[in-house]
Amino acid sequence: MKRLHKTLLVLFLGLVAATGISAMQASEARMGDTVITFRFLPENDVFLLKGNQAELERLYSLIDKYHAEIAAGQMPVYVDGYCASLSAEKDNLNTAFVRANRVKSELITHKGLKEADFVTGNYARAYRNNKDVVVVTFCIPTKEESKQPETVKEQPKREEPKVVAEPKPEPVVEEEQPRTSQPVVNPESIQRDVPYSFAVRTNLLYDALLLPTLGVEWRVNRDLSVKLDGSLSWWGGEHGKVQKMWLVNPEVRWYLLRDKRFYVGASGSYGEYNIYKYPLGGILSKDTGYQGTMWNTGLTVGYQLYLSHSFSVDFNLGLGYTRSEYDSFGMADGVRVYKERYKSKNFWGPTQAGISLVWTIGNNRK
């Protein structure tokens, strides 16, 4: 009797093992070569083609092959963002959310997919020891399943790719989040995806002309910002070389193109000046000084060259209308002698120029 029990037990265990292996093989056959992984740089949410080109082309070919099924809602595209390179869990979730949206934007822009074609998940942990990746998965039915429409409709729920767990996993972190058609992370707004939130700047071109400039820029959203620069110089005395001048320059900017580096803007300036033979006065005239007020308004164009995570160089040029009301004077034996009084000048042309060093604060870009 004992031998019979042992024999039955061995047969039962063998049947269970065979069933498990068959299920694993069936699962692997279902998934096939349908997992595409895109790598991101730590603390960076920009989707770089370098290093991801081969995977992107493979993804494009799969979408071209199954575009009809995807559009019909029979084959959703699963996009999962993983981030574990930041110190705070909330920051990891937000970064995973932004990266997943970067990948979806590529497919919406270049392959005509819609938001409803995606199922998105975001996780504050690593994926197979990779801390900064976005995984795109297709659940492609086998040939046998494609012959049975009712089986395809009742496609089993996709299993989450296995993740290498930490030595002491916390249940809250490792708990699987339910899949929905909306992102699991719900930040306050998609406008969190802004190259930077606030910047401090100085115009190196004006600084070189001994007109120190300090400014701030607030990035309202990805496309719009408000900038204000102020300049002040107070050099020399009343009876010699002098450059006393102040200037304020507000501007509204619209950032264009995909990378949001090129921009156009509307700006204005107002200030007062008293210059004679200092750098600005020397540019205007070698033996004549000017004092008065000026204002201008016009359009600007510019480009920001990113140097690092926090610094960039801003090149800009403004064109428009300028009006100046002034007195001109010369110096004779250390005494100021007026040449013209209550004059004015109006002209169309350059209103500003800048090569500015920008320090960005609260930025997400590279």
Q: Which fold would CATH assign to domain 198-361?
A: Porin (2.40.160)
Sheet holding 118-123, edge to edge: 35-39, 132-138, 77-83, 118-123
Q: Which fold would CATH assign to domain 26-166+180-192?
A: 60s Ribosomal Protein L30; Chain: A; (3.30.1330)
Residue 192's pLDDT is 43
pLDDT in tens, 109-167: 888 888 888 999 999 999 988 999 999 998 876 654 444 554 444 444 554 554 444 45
Domain locations in the chain as residue ranges: 26-166+180-192, 198-361
Q: Torsion angle of alpha carbons 189, 194, 199, 203, nearest 10°?
A: -140
**Measured over all CA atoms, what is the biggest interatomic distance in the chain, rounded to whole angstroms?**
130
Contact in structure between 99 and 37 (CB atoms under 8 Å): no
pLDDT greater than 90 at residue 300: yes
What is the rounded CA–CA span in Å between residue 227 and residue 200? 10
Residue 106's pLDDT is 87
Using alpha carbons only, what angle is made at residue 94 by residues 92 and 95, rounded to the nearest 5 degrees?
A: 65
Equal CATH topology for 26-166+180-192 and 198-361: no
Structure tokens given for 292: 């008065």
What type of residue is 247?
L
pLDDT in tens, 213-261: 999 999 999 899 999 999 999 888 655 788 889 999 999 999 999 888 9
What is the rounded CA–CA span in Å between residue 21 and residue 228? 67
Structure tokens given for 216: 């701030």
What is the rounded CA–CA span in Å between residue 18 and residue 217? 66
**Secondary structure (DSSP) of 24-61:** HHHHHHHHSS-EEEEE--TT-----STTTHHHHHHHHH
Residue 181 banded pLDDT, cuts 50, 70, 90: very low
Q: How far is residue 329 from each of residues 217, 244, 315, measured CA to CA in Å? A: 38, 15, 35
